[in-house]
Structures are given as structure tokens and as C-alpha cells.
């Protein structure tokens, strides 16, 4: 039973008051620091650029051990986001974790596309950039076999790559919060309702689709998040770790990238309206993407409270592919918590290591 | 309920109670918004609003461009053009650097051996 009398314990009350006064002072001092602080530092693991083609950049993260797993791992970033989400800070970095476990880690990342890249689409992302990155990795390592991973739309791209022809060199496919069945992308289905959403107008007039267009949809779905986030920041202003983490995530969200108009048009028309990847009608590089062609081992990772990509949107990876080695993992937390966040460090990433290590020799 | 429950706990923590209130407000507002954003009317409204925003931005950009030109000042499209050209030069420089690096590789740490095996696990991670 509870002990309400302790409420009146003068010692406890004094201790609580001292703590709150101390935190209030720290909030004011650190709050001023926060307002005048420069951009949060992100990305700390040493890396080398190996390939660049306009918006596409391939990085190799320098291995930390003298002995690494045979099969390299290529992680594809979503075209609308900076890849440093995988390497936020020491102790909060997915790549740091993988390097510590002995993986040879590559990241296909994206610079903001130039106006003359407005015509880039699936043919380029899937048929040009991913194969070029794989060719570069093979030339460096001598290894033809590869593990491919993708987060959010990056996962969709690697899945399409695996589905456009039989890829015997693709050993493992790791998808993190990856939409495949777009009929379950409820927020975006309403936002880009075929009857009212003039996607051609946007593509024609804007050429590069600014991030505000996409971020607006997220804000409408979760209107309280921004305000609640700031209130929580103020409450925790005394806590250096919280503030540091907040600033890094805030910078990442603020640096959402524009995307090429043609690619945006394909996302809306082919995937959102036609659900073409699930229906088996998506044409990329003159080939039909067929999930049945995917035979690699699959680890499908879903966030339990993901308001962007629902669990159902990822299920074709478990039901429509031909892989005989499939595993699904539902992790606590939201969309971003899979690739950055304390619970990922403690629970999810060790599981990924346990799964991938056995399949990387 | 949660607030009163907090009162009967060993120590009442006003900050925790405040955070609880904020969290509840966040959840409720988000849930309310989710219901609205799933309606067809919302889709229609967003479709129209997006279209109107694009047209308004276009008109504003054209008018601003005309004013800046008449004042002999650089417009956004001209700055964008310069920025695009710089990006192309930067891109080419990066490609040249990579090509030169391939021909004259700098001495680097030896490549690690690709023979690692997963450590034997004593207990499952499930």
C-alpha cells in the first residue's frame, strides 16, 4: 500500500524543492545556451566517399577491426533524408554499433538533388545508383555477395531492386520501417487522394518537391508533436544528454531533402495510387518488379508505434516473397527509433547483429 | 485518475505530473487529428489547399522576380542558377578527386581479413 504520510515528510519536501530549484536554474542557464548554440554536431565515424553521381554518394565507413565479416553490408538511405541519422553520435550510432560488431559497412546516401536532376526516378535510383554502388563495393572487396538494408523509402528501393530480376548475389535483405503495400499508408492515401491531389501540377511547377510538402502531412497527422516536443525540451533543459539528443534529431528533421519531381510523381501514382509493387505491375528499367523473385534471407523490422509506416504496409515482405528464411521483428517505439534511440541500442541492434552475423560469413 | 494517483505516491513530483499532462494532451490531440485526417473531406481540402499554395507561390515568385529585375537586383532564380552551376562544379571536382585517388591510391591501413565468424552465444537474444 502507498504511504501518503510521507508526503508531509519535511526532509523529503525540502529535498524535492532543492532539486527543482536547481533544475529551474539550470533550465534558465542552459536555455540561453540552447538559443545561441550552433548546429548540433552529427556523424562521427570516419568514412570515405567511394562513388559520386550527382545526388548519389557512396560512403565506406572505416572498419574498426582487423577481422571483419566476409559479406559487406550496404545501407540505402531514404532519398528524402540525410544518412547521418544512422550515425548521430557516439553511443547513439547504428553504424558505430555495426562496425564494432565487425561488419564492413557502406552507405548509399543522397545530396540535395539539383534542378537538372528533377527527372530522376526509380530507373535511376534502382537501376543506376544501387548497381553502381554494388559494382564499386565488389571492386573494392572482391566480394560479389552482398547484404542490402534500407530504411523507410530506402527499404522500398532495395526491395524493388531485389524484385526486378533474380539476384543470386543478394544474400540478405534487411528492411527497416519499409512500406511495400501502400494501401495501408493511410495518412498519405488521404493526403494524396487521387480525386483531389494534382500531382502533375506539383511536379510541373515545382520540379523539385520541397520537404515542406511532405512534412506538412506529418504535422497534420501529429499536430501536437512539435509543441509537446518543445515543452519536453524545456522541462528537460537541465539534462545535457536529453538536450544533445533533441538538437541532433531536430537538425535531422530540419534538413529533410527535396526530392526529384519525377520520383515524387512515381511514388504517388505508381505506389500510392496503383499500389503497383504489391500488385506486381511496377515497371522499372523495362522490367516488372515481382516480389516473388526475392529469395534472399529477409529481416523485416517494424516499429510498433510507427504512425508513418504501419505494420500492415510491410507485410508483403513476409507473405509475397519467395524467401525461405524470413523473420519479422516488431520493435517498441516509433518510426525513427529503429535507427537511432536508446531502446534500439539496447535491444534492436543486438538482435540485428545476431541475425546478420550468422548470415554474413 | 493518473494525477490523483500521483498524489498518493510516496513523493509527489510536480514535474512528472506536468509531463504526464503534456503527454496526455499530445496523445489526445493526435488521436483527434488522426480521425479528421482520415476523412474524405480532409483529402479534398488538402488537395485544394496544395494547389492553391502552388499557384500563390508561383504568382508571388513571378511578381517578386519582376520587381527585382526592375531594381537591377539578382533574383532567386538567378541565385538558384549560380548555385546549380556551383553544385555541378562541386560534383565534377568530387568525381575527379575519386578518379585521381583510384589511380594514385594513398597508403592506407591494410584491408582487414574477411574471415570473421559470429561469436558463440550462450543465451538467445529473442
Q: What is the pLDDT of residues B16-40, one digit of tens each?
A: 787 788 788 878 877 787 777 777 7
Which of chain A's residues have a Cβ under 8 Å away from the Cβ of B98? 49-52
Q: What is the pLDDT of residues A16-49, one digit of tens each?
A: 777 777 777 777 766 666 666 666 666 789 999 9
Q: Which run of H or of E encompasses B65?
A: helix B40-70
pLDDT of residue B105: 67
Are the Cβ atoms of B43 and A195 closer than 8 angstroms? yes
Instruction: Report domain extents, chain A.
Output: 4-30, 47-357
- Given a contact cutoff of 8 angstroms between Cβ atoms, the answer to whether B28 and A21 are in contact is no
C-alpha cell of residue A241:
544528454
In chain B, which residues have pLDDT < 70? 1-12, 105-108, 121-126
pTM of the full predicted structure? 0.81
For A104, nearest residue in chain B (alpha carbons):
B114
Closest by Cα among A320, A319, A303, A323 to A311: A303
Which of chain B's residues have a Cβ under 8 Å away from the Cβ of A53? 95
DSSP helix/strand/coil, A290? coil
**Axis-axis angle for helices B76-103, B40-70 (nearest 10):** 100
Q: What is the pLDDT of residues A208-252, one digit of tens each?
A: 999 888 777 667 766 777 777 777 777 777 777 777 777 777 777
Which of chain B's residues have a Cβ under 8 Å away from the Cβ of A231? 22
In chain A, which residues have pLDDT < 70? 1-8, 29-42, 217-218, 221-222
Q: Residue A192 gets which letter from DSSP?
A: T
pLDDT of residue B122: 55
Residue A325: other Cβ atoms inside 10 A: 12
Q: Is B33 on the interface with A (CB under 8 A)?
A: yes
DSSP helix/strand/coil, A300? strand
* Closest by Cβ to B112, choosing from A63, A116, A198: A63
Are the Cβ atoms of B98 and A50 closer than 8 angstroms? yes
For B23, nearest residue in chain A (alpha carbons):
A228
- Which residues have a Cβ under 8 Å from the Cβ of A206 and sit 6 or more positions away? A213, A261, B54
Are the Cβ atoms of A190 and B37 closer than 8 angstroms? yes
pLDDT of residue A191: 82
- Given a contact cutoff of 8 angstroms between Cβ atoms, the answer to whether A138 and A61 are in contact is no
Query: How many beta-carbon contacts under 8 Å exist across A and B?
Result: 150
Instruction: Tell me the shortest Cα–Cα distance from A222 to chain B, in angstroms.
Output: 5
pLDDT of residue A39: 65
- Which residues have a Cβ under 8 Å from the Cβ of B35 and sit 6 or more positions away? none
* Closest by Cβ to A235, choosing from B18, B30, B109: B18
d(CA B90, CA B28): 48
pLDDT of residue A343: 77
Q: Give the homologous superfamily in CATH for domain A47-357.
A: Alpha/Beta hydrolase fold, catalytic domain (3.40.50.1820)
CB-based burial, A241-260: b 16+ in 10 Å, e otherwise: eebebbbbbebbbeebbbbb
C-alpha cell of residue A75:
545501407
Are the Cβ atoms of A196 and B43 closer than 8 angstroms? yes
What ipTM was predicted for this assembly?
0.74
- Given a contact cutoff of 8 angstroms between Cβ atoms, the answer to whether A132 and A51 are in contact is yes
Q: Which residues pair with A328 in a beta bridge?
A: A300
Are the Cβ atoms of B43 and A191 closer than 8 angstroms? yes
Grid cell 591494410 in the structure block, residue = B110
pLDDT of residue A36: 64
Q: What is the Cα Rg of chain A in Å? A: 22
d(CA A53, CA A139): 17
Are the Cβ atoms of A221 and B30 closer than 8 angstroms? yes
For B16, nearest residue in chain A (alpha carbons):
A235
Q: Is B50 on the interface with A (CB under 8 A)?
A: yes
Closest by Cα among A315, A351, A317 to A332: A351
Are the Cβ atoms of B125 and A351 closer than 8 angstroms? yes
- Given a contact cutoff of 8 angstroms between Cβ atoms, the answer to whether A331 and A337 are in contact is yes
Q: What is the pLDDT of residues A191-214, one digit of tens each?
A: 888 888 999 999 998 899 998 887
Amino acid at each position: 500500500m502507498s504511504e501518503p504520510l510521507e508526503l508531509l515528510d519535511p526532509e523529503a519536501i525540502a529535498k524535492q524543492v532543492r532539486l527543482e530549484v536547481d533544475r529551474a536554474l539550470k533550465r534558465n542557464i542552459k536555455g540561453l545556451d540552447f538559443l545561441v548554440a550552433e548546429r548540433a554536431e552529427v556523424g562521427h565515424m570516419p568514412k570515405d566517399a567511394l562513388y559520386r553521381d550527382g545526388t548519389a554518394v557512396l560512403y565506406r565507413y572505416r572498419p574498426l577491426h582487423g577481422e571483419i565479416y566476409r559479406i559487406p553490408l550496404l545501407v540505402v538511405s531514404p532519398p528524402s533524408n540525410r544518412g547521418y541519422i544512422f550515425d548521430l553520435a557516439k553511443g547513439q550510432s547504428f553504424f558505430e554499433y555495426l562496425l564494432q560488431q565487425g561488419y564492413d559497412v557502406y552507405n548509399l546516401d543522397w545530396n540535395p538533388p539539383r534542378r537538372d536532376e528533377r527527372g530522376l526516378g526509380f530507373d535511376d535510383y534502382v537501376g543506376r545508383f544501387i548497381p553502381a554502388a554494388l559494382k564499386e563495393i565488389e571492386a573494392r572487396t572482391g566480394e560479389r555477395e552482398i547484404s542490402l538494408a534500407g530504411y523507410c523509402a530506402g527499404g522500398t528501393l532495395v526491395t524493388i531492386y531485389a524484385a526486378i530480376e533474380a539476384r543470386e548475389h543478394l544474400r540478405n535483405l534487411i528492411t527497416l520501417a519499409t512500406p511495400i503495400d501502400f494501401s495501408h499508408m493511410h495518412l498519405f492515401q488521404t493526403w494524396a487522394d487521387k480525386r483531389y491531389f494534382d500531382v502533375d501540377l506539383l511536379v510541373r511547377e515545382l520540379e523539385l518537391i520541397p520537404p515542406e510538402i511532405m512534412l506538412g502531412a506529418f504535422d497534420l497527422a501529429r499536430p501536437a508533436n512539435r509543441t509537446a516536443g518543445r515543452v519536453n525540451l524545456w522541462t528537460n533543459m537541465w539534462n545535457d544528454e536529453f538536450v544533445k539528443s533533441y538538437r541532433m534529431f531536430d537538425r535531422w528533421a530540419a534538413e529533410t531533402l527535396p526530392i526529384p519531381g519525377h520520383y515524387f510523381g512515381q511514388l504517388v501514382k505508381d505506389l500510392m495510387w496503383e499500389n503497383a509493387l504489391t500488385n506486381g505491375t511496377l515497371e522499372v528499367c523495362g522490367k516488372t518488379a515481382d516480389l516473388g523473385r526475392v529469395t534472399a534471407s529477409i529481416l523485416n523490422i517494424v516499429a510498433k508505434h510507427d504512425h508513418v509506416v504501419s505494420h500492415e504496409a510491410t507485410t508483403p515482405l513476409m507473405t509475397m516473397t519467395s524467401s525461405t528464411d524470413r523473420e519479422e521483428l516488431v520493435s517498441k517505439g516509433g518510426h525513427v527509433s529503429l535507427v537511432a534511440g536508446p531502446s534500439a541500442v539496447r535491444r534492436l541492434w543486438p538482435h540485428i547483429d545476431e541475425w546478420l552475423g550468422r548470415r554474413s560469413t | 485518475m493518473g494525477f490523483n494517483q500521483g498524489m498518493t505516491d510516496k513523493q509527489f513530483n510536480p514535474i512528472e505530473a506536468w509531463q504526464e499532462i503534456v503527454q496526455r494532451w499530445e496523445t489526445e490531440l493526435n488521436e483527434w487529428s488522426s480521425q479528421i485526417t482520415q476523412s474524405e473531406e480532409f483529402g479534398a481540402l488538402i488537395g485544394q489547399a496544395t494547389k492553391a499554395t502552388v499557384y500563390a507561390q508561383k504568382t508571388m515568385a513571378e511578381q517578386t522576380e519582376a520587381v527585382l529585375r526592375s531594381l537591377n537586383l539578382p533574383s532567386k532564380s538567378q541565385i538558384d542558377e549560380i548555385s546549380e552551376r556551383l553544385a555541378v562544379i562541386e560534383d565534377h571536382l568530387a568525381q575527379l578527386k575519386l578518379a585521381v585517388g583510384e589511380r594514385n591510391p594513398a597508403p592506407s591501413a591494410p584491408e582487414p581479413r574477411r574471415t570473421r565468424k559470429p561469436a558463440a552465444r550462450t543465451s538467445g537474444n529473442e
